[in-house]
Amino acid sequence: MNIGRLLEVGVAVPDLDAATRTFVRLLGTGATDPIRAPMFAMDFRMCRLGDVDFELMMPYAAGSVVSRFIAARGEGLHHIAFQVPDIGETIALCRARGLPILSDEPVLLGGLRAAFLHPGCMAGLLVEFVENLHGWGGAAPAPDAGRVSGFGVVVKDVDAAASSYANILGATVADRHWNAALGGHARYARVGAIRFELISGAAERIGSARLSGNRQGLHHVCLDVGNPEAFWPLRARAGVHAAAWAGAPFLTDPAACHGVAFEIHPARR
Three-state DSSP state, 185: strand
Query: Poorest-confidence range of 54-68, 186-200, 232-246?
Result: 232-246
Tell me, what's the pLDDT at 165? 98
Residues 6+ apart with CB under 8 A from 203: 154, 211, 212, 215, 219
Say what percent of the chain tops pLDDT 70.
Answer: 82
Distance CA 164, CA 160 (A): 6
| pLDDT bucket at 162, cuts 50 / 70 / 90 | very high
For 15-56, the pLDDT digits (tens) are 999 999 999 988 888 899 999 999 999 999 999 988 899 999
DSSP of 103-139: -SS-EEETTEEEEEE-GGGGTT--EEEEES------P
| pLDDT bucket at 246, cuts 50 / 70 / 90 | very low
| pLDDT bucket at 3, cuts 50 / 70 / 90 | very high
Tell me, what's the pLDDT at 260? 93
For 52-79, the pLDDT digits (tens) are 999 999 999 999 999 999 999 999 999 9
User: Could you tell me the domains of the chain?
Assistant: 6-131 (3.10.180.10), 143-266 (3.10.180.10)
Distance CA 205, CA 163 (A): 25
Distance CA 169, CA 117 (A): 11
Distance CA 65, CA 62 (A): 9
